[in-house]
């Protein structure tokens, strides 16, 4: 067992939140008698200083709540019933290691599938000793594409993931477009900067099917039909190119592919795009005029527009707007996307080279478990993730997890929907019980997370558990770090010198350009020629309808409603969903409810060919007609029949990047009898 550091018993400990949220708040954690008593914001990160979200304030309920996993266990009843028997760590890890080696011997390494995502989003909890173990085993590789795959592919191809405009510069903008993002639920520290910009007279435009809090205060709200962001963005490009607003000087000097984009946009008149998106033509034209004529202008491109069949091309078209309109080169002008890549550091710290083994797209887990052969997946190792709740086509995922011949290990903090299916259950520490390095993807920041308390129960860190499995599998090599502290020091040693020095000295890396780079003045595209690639042909082969090609709405007369599942302020993906929350409701527009005889509070059936969800209806005009909404990240206990919105989501993939098409679910709604 790890010996806790001496400062673990002090009353206030500085650390940082690593959860999958753009902000990465610096934290002050109050410890009393070895237990976390309160969590609040600290000023170490000036962007998030002083306050945190309500969900992380409730983190002590996760640490000490009834769902916390306290010791290793093995299954003693049918899969899915969470029936377990306590065992020692030695027994549990020996069982897992023996099973790994046996599975590899019998069916080959690719019959083992590691499954993980950003449960704890730090640099230490993923792609360190875990990756070393699975690489040495020759396991199948997982394409981690449930989020940010399409936007990541677009941003990488077009700009090489150039650093973004950061929160502090939003007040400098005279026009802000929030496209597919709701900072009031995820990324709350951006909101005051937007309000400050509005106070200074900035125009706010929101593109979102829902009337979010910021959409209510926007000058123009385009409540687009899900999946139609691409035609909307292309109509803006057509206007810029054809009405003399394209910055031809900038394009000639700094961009490639402008002519191809101009051609692709040519057919998208305001009338055609507005009809496709079901928004007023005049509003769309007004957005184009304002964007063309106002500066500084910035676009905060979110993730809502990527979760459909056109998501990659939509993200390309949105990200191309500041280049075509010539919005770069001044403070408050340009775009904001993820800042993950701004440090220019690697995403993997594994000690072994990546083998050329099979790649399994995480969005198709159910299909992989049930249908993949050569070899069949016979061992699944889930950590930092809860696929039974979060992965598309939930019914198929659950049928896969129920397979008698599948050996499933779940390494988790609490009893999630996935943990209930484990053959071996391993208790994991939270970010308050260990070290990590946390890289923000909203503000430009990188901080050290410290252990605040001793591990609760017998929980262990990722570094400890994967390190022990490497030992038990006989795969340790001389230079491998041993334990969490060594692993952290190893990662820090491999950071760029200036970043490492800052972390060692103060716990936070000093940020270039005071954290406020100006695009095309301080930072440039990280493409090989430092230009914007408006028509990145390397992506074209992946896109079913080509670059900027639009795929029509998948609605049918049987299933006419678009179901979306946006982030809520209650969970971070599905993390913290074990905590009590108000009843989950399907949001539906009054007109859609009326024609179905549905009243507010009625129990409804939401269904399509993939499955059915039963829950209460919430009737209100905060969602557009023809679209219904259920929160992202809910667990099976939150609905009347034990299925969540993911049971209605096809496991089809985005046009670029292999992302999840959550917003391509088309459903019917009726009153439950």
Q: HEC string of 476-526?
A: CCCCCCCHHHHHHHHHHHCCCHHHHHHHHHHCECCCHHHHCCCECCCECCC
Task: Using CB atoms within 10 Å of the CB of residue 554, give its burial: 0 to 12 exposed, 13 to 18 middle, 19+ buried.
Answer: middle
| Best CA proximity match to 492, nearest among 88, 123, 216 | 123
Q: Does 449 bind ligand SF4 (CB under 6 A)?
A: no
The rounded distance, in Å, linking the Cα atoms of 328 and 322 is 7
Stretch that binds ligand SF4, among 19-27, 144-152, 412-420, 497-505 (CB under 6 A): 19-27
Q: From the CB of 19, what's the least distance to ligand SF4, in Å?
A: 5
SS3 268: coil
Stretch that binds ligand SF4, among 52-60, 69-77, 85-93, 332-340 (CB under 6 A): 52-60
Task: Using CB atoms within 10 Å of the CB of residue 76, give its burial: 0 to 12 exposed, 13 to 18 middle, 19+ buried.
Answer: exposed
Give the residue with the Cβ less far from ligand SF4, 142 or 181: 181
| Best CA proximity match to 185, nearest among 642, 633, 656 | 633
Q: Which of 29, 36, 44, 56 binds ligand SF4 (CB under 6 A)?
A: 56
Q: Which of 19, 63, 518, 630 binds ligand SF4 (CB under 6 A)?
A: 19
The rounded distance, in Å, linking the Cα atoms of 583 and 599 is 16
Stretch that binds ligand SF4, among 49-57, 211-219, 223-231, 524-532 (CB under 6 A): 49-57
Helix axes 462-472, 129-137, angle to 10 degrees: 30
Distance of CA 308 to the CA centre of its chain: 15
**Residues composing the chain:** 673
Q: Does 23 bind ligand SF4 (CB under 6 A)?
A: yes
Q: Does 325 bind ligand SF4 (CB under 6 A)?
A: no
Q: From the CB of 59, what's the least distance to ligand SF4, in Å?
A: 8
Give the residue with the Cβ less far from ligand SF4, 52 or 509: 52
SS3 269: coil
Stretch that binds ligand SF4, among 1-9, 18-26, 271-279, 373-381 (CB under 6 A): 18-26
What would the DSSP string read from start to end of 149-188? Answer: HHHHHHHHHHHSSPPPPPGGGGGG-SEEEEES--TTTS-G
Stretch that binds ligand SF4, among 16-24, 109-117, 515-523, 579-587 (CB under 6 A): 16-24
Bridge partners for 447 per DSSP: 438, 508
Q: Does 53 bind ligand SF4 (CB under 6 A)?
A: yes
Binding marks (x or -) toward ligand SF4, 523..562, rule CB under 6 A?
Answer: ----------------------------------------
Q: From the CB of 150, what's the least distance to ligand SF4, in Å?
A: 23
Order of strands, sheet of 220-222, starting from the edge strand that comes earlier in the sequence = 220-222, 203-207, 175-179, 297-301, 334-336
Give the CA distances from residue 594 to residues 589, 591, 598, 619, in Å, rounded to whole numbers and listed in that order. Answer: 9, 5, 6, 9
Give the residue with the Cβ less far from ligand SF4, 56 or 240: 56
Q: From the CB of 202, what's the least distance to ligand SF4, in Å?
A: 23
The rounded distance, in Å, linking the Cα atoms of 81 and 636 is 13
What percentage of the chain's residues is helix, strand, coil (to nearest 5)?
35, 20, 45
Give the residue with the Cβ less far from ligand SF4, 121 or 627: 121
Stretch that binds ligand SF4, among 22-30, 84-92, 559-567, 582-590 (CB under 6 A): 22-30
Give the residue with the Cβ less far from ligand SF4, 19 or 93: 19
Q: With beta carbons less than 8 A apart as the criterion, state whether 570 and 619 touch.
A: no
The rounded distance, in Å, linking the Cα atoms of 358 and 175 is 46
Q: Does 572 bind ligand SF4 (CB under 6 A)?
A: yes
| Best CA proximity match to 128, nearest among 480, 497, 503 | 480
68 is written with which tokens?
């916390």
Give the residue with the Cβ less far from ligand SF4, 53 or 369: 53
Rounded (10°) CA dihedral 617, 618, 620, 625: -40
Q: From the CB of 170, what's the least distance to ligand SF4, in Å?
A: 17
By CB under 6 A, what part of segment 135-194 binds ligand SF4? 188
Q: Does 25 bind ligand SF4 (CB under 6 A)?
A: yes
For residue 533, give the H/E element and its range: strand 532-533
What would the DSSP string read from start to end of 335-355? Answer: EE---GGGG---S---SSPPP
Q: Does 255 bind ligand SF4 (CB under 6 A)?
A: no
Give the residue with the Cβ less far from ligand SF4, 188 or 606: 188
Give the residue with the Cβ less far from ligand SF4, 472 or 576: 576
Give the residue with the Cβ less far from ligand SF4, 38 or 70: 38
Give the residue with the Cβ less far from ligand SF4, 380 or 440: 440
Give the residue with the Cβ less far from ligand SF4, 24 or 308: 24
Q: With beta carbons less than 8 A apart as the criterion, state whether 348 and 579 touch.
A: no
How many residues line the site for ligand SF4 (CB under 6 A)?
A: 12
Q: With beta carbons less than 8 A apart as the criterion, state whether 140 and 359 touch.
A: yes
Q: Which of 13, 14, 15, 17 binds ligand SF4 (CB under 6 A)?
A: 17
Give the residue with the Cβ less far from ligand SF4, 292 or 567: 567
Give the residue with the Cβ less far from ligand SF4, 145 or 575: 575
Longest dimension (CA), the chain: 72
Q: From the CB of 362, what's the least distance to ligand SF4, in Å?
A: 22
By CB under 6 A, what part of segment 29-48 binds ligand SF4? 48
The rounded distance, in Å, linking the Cα atoms of 11 and 118 is 29
Helix axes 89-107, 462-472, angle to 10 degrees: 60
Stretch that binds ligand SF4, among 15-23, 223-231, 366-374, 613-621 (CB under 6 A): 15-23
Give the residue with the Cβ less far from ligand SF4, 52 or 181: 52
Stretch that binds ligand SF4, among 14-22, 168-176, 207-215, 368-376 (CB under 6 A): 14-22
Give the residue with the Cβ less far from ligand SF4, 25 or 475: 25
Q: From the CB of 572, what's the least distance to ligand SF4, in Å?
A: 5
Residues that bind ligand SF4 (CB under 6 A): 17, 19, 21, 23-25, 48, 52-53, 56, 188, 572
């Amino acid at each position: 067992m790890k010996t806790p550091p001496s400062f673990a018993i002090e009353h206030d400990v500085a650390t940082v939140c690593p959860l999958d949220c753009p902000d990465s708040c610096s934290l002050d954690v109050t410890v009393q008698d070895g237990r976390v008593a309160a969590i609040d914001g600290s000023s170490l990160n000036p962007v998030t200083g002083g306050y945190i979200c309500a969900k992380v304030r409730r983190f002590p309920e996760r640490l000490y709540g009834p769902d916390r996993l306290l010791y290793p266990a093995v299954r003693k009843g049918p899969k899915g019933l969470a029936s377990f028997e306590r065992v020692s760590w030695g027994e549990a890890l020996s069982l897992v290691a023996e099973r790994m080696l046996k599975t590899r011997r019998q069916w080959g390494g690719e019959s083992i599938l590691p499954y993980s995502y950003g449960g704890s989003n730090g640099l230490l909890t993923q792609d360190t000793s875990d990756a070393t173990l699975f690489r040495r085993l020759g396991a199948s590789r997982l394409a981690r594409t449930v989020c940010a795959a399409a936007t990541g592919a677009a941003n990488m191809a077009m700009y090489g993931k150039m650093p973004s405009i950061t929160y502090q510069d939003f007040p400098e903008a005279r026009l802000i477009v929030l496209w597919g993002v709701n900072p009031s639920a995820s990324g709350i520290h951006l909101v005051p900067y937007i309000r400050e910009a509005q106070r200074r007279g900035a125009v706010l435009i929101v593109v979102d099917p829902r009337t979010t809090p910021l959409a209510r205060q926007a000058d123009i709200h385009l409540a687009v039909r899900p999946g139609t962001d691409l035609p909307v963005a292309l109509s803006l490009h057509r206007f810029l190119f054809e009405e003399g607003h394209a910055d031809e000087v900038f394009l000639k000097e700094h961009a490639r592919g402008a002519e191809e984009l101009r051609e692709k946009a040519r057919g998208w008149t305001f009338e055609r795009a507005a009809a496709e998106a079901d928004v007023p033509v005049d509003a769309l034209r007004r957005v184009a005029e304002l964007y063309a004529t106002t500066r500084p202008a910035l676009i905060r491109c979110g993730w809502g527009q990527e979760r459909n069949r056109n998501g990659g091309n939509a993200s390309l078209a949105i990200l191309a707007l500041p280049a075509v309109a010539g919005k770069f080169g001044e403070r408050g002008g340009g775009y904001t996307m993820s800042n993950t890549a701004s440090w220019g550091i690697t995403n993997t710290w594994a000690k072994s080279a990546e083998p050329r083994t099979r790649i399994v797209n995480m969005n198709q887990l159910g299909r992989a478990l049930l249908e993949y052969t050569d070899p069949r997946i016979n061992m699944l190792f889930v950590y930092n993730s809860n696929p039974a709740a979060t992965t598309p086509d939930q019914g198929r995922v659950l049928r896969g997890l129920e397979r008698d011949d599948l050996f499933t290990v779940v390494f988790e903090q609490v009893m999630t929907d996935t943990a209930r299916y484990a053959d071996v259950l391993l208790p994991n520490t939270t970010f308050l019980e260990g070290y990590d390095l946390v890289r923000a993807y909203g503000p430009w920041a990188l901080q050290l997370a410290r252990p605040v308390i001793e591990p609760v129960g017998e929980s262990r860190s990722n570094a400890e558990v994967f390190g022990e499995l490497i030992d038990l599998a006989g795969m340790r090599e001389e230079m491998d770090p041993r334990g969490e502290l060594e692993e952290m020091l190893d990662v820090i040693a491999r950071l760029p010198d200036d970043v490492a020095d800052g972390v060692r000295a103060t716990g936070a890396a000093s940020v270039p350009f005071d954290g406020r780079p100006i695009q095309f003045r301080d930072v440039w595209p990280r493409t090989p020629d430092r230009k914007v690639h408006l028509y990145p042909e390397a992506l074209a082969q992946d896109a079913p309808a080509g670059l900027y090609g639009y795929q029509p709405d998948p609605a049918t007369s049987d299933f006419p409603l678009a179901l979306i599942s946006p982030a809520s302020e209650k969970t971070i993906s599905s993390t913290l969903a074990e905590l009590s929350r108000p009843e989950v409701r399907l949001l539906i527009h009054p007109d859609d409810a009326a024609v179905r005889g549905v009243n507010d509070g009625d129990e409804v059936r939401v269904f399509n060919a993939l499955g059915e969800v039963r829950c209460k209806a919430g009737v209100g005009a905060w969602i557009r007609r023809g679209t219904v909404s259920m929160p992202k990240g809910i667990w099976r206990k939150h609905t009347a029949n034990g299925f969540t919105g993911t049971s209605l989501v096809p496991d089809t993939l985005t046009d670029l990047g292999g992302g999840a098409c959550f917003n391509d679910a088309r459903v019917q709604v009726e009153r439950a009898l």
